[in-house]
Each structure stands twice: as C-alpha cells, then as structure tokens.
Amino acid sequence: MPLLDIFLLRPQACIHACENRRAPLWITAFIIMIGVTYGILIALLQRSLGGELQGIPITGIPFWVLALGNILPGILIVIMIHIGIMLVAWLMAKAVGGPGLLALLYRGAGYLLPLLLPALPAIAFMVATTTTTAHSAGPLPWLYLALAIVGAALFFAGLYQIFRVTQNFQPSRALFAAVLFIAFSASILSMA
C-alpha cells in the first residue's frame, strides 16, 4: 500500500510513484482527499468561529454550502501546490546537478501531498480567521502549530527520499537539494 509507505518514509513509495502505471490514479486521489479535507476543515472552523462571511452571518449559511464553497477552491489550491512542488523540486534538482526528470518529479511530488495532512488544521485556521469577521479567533492554537511542524518535517523527509530515488543522488546531495527547496520556499512564503 503506497499510503503506508509514504508515511513511513520508505523509498518504496517513491519507486511506486515513478514506476507504477496506476500512480496517476493515486495522485488524483491524494489531490481530491487533501482538497476535500482542507475545505471541510475551513468550513468547520468558519462555523465554529462565527462572524460574517462576505457580509452574511455564518450561522445563516447552510453547512453544505459553506463546505462546498471551500472544497472546490481547496482542490484547485492543492493542484497548484502540487505543480509548485514539482517545479521547485525540478529547479533544485537541476541546481545540484541532477538530471531533472520532470515527469518523475511530478509523480513524486504527488506522493508527497499526504505528508502535508498534519499541517492542514493550521493552514485552515489561518484561512478561516482571514475570511470571516470573527473577532474571537485568537492566536493559532499550539496543537495546530505542533501538527504543522510535524507535517513540515514529514514533507522534508519525503522530499529527501524523492531526490534520492528520482535523481539518483547520494545522501548528502539529496539533503542539500531538500535544504535548498525548503530555503527557497521559505523565502517566497516570507514575502507573501
């Protein structure tokens, strides 16, 4: 099962992503799963925080409308994140002297997406507090922050495996490419 291998950070998951003909189906399932989870989390947090959304009281919006209104953009956001991960990974692989192999990085990046699941509550909380007029939201809960750190660490370890398998890098070169990826991404996100 690729999902278990992904969370256990086994190279077999990366090999499965690169070689299995059903990998695109898994990637599509991961995108939909994460987009739906993200959208539902935002809807739940918006409902619990209260306030207004676009001038309409949250309590006056049926939950299914609120969820659907967040799920569809959530899936699109996950698609864009998948493409972004692939492109930045390709740039870092080329920067470190790898062959690039964009198609393999596309597949590998798709298999990294489930590793971001622990970070979703923190991201959803930030989105929910910025899209509503809820004044009682408060700071990011510690549990959400801890889960986001776990998600980031899992993603970093998975990215290392992707570089090892797709680029055939030695451990030090794969680590360097992963660190470059994280530094580049952090610098871009700090500007947002």
Residues contacting residue 168 through CB under 8 Å, at least 6 positions apart: 98, 99
pTM for the model? 0.90
Q: What is the pLDDT of residues 26-58, one digit of tens each?
A: 999 999 999 999 999 999 999 988 888 888 898
Of 23-27, 57-61, 84-88, 177-181, the poorest mean pLDDT is in 57-61
CA 23 – CA 110 distance, rounded (Å): 9
Answer whether 4's CB lies under 8 Å from 115's CB.
Answer: no
Residues of the domain holding 120:
2-191
Please name which of 141, 145, 130, 139 lies closest in space to residue 70, comparing C-alpha atoms.
130
Helix, strand, coil shares of the chain as percentages rounded to 5?
A: 80, 0, 15
Number of domains, the chain: 1
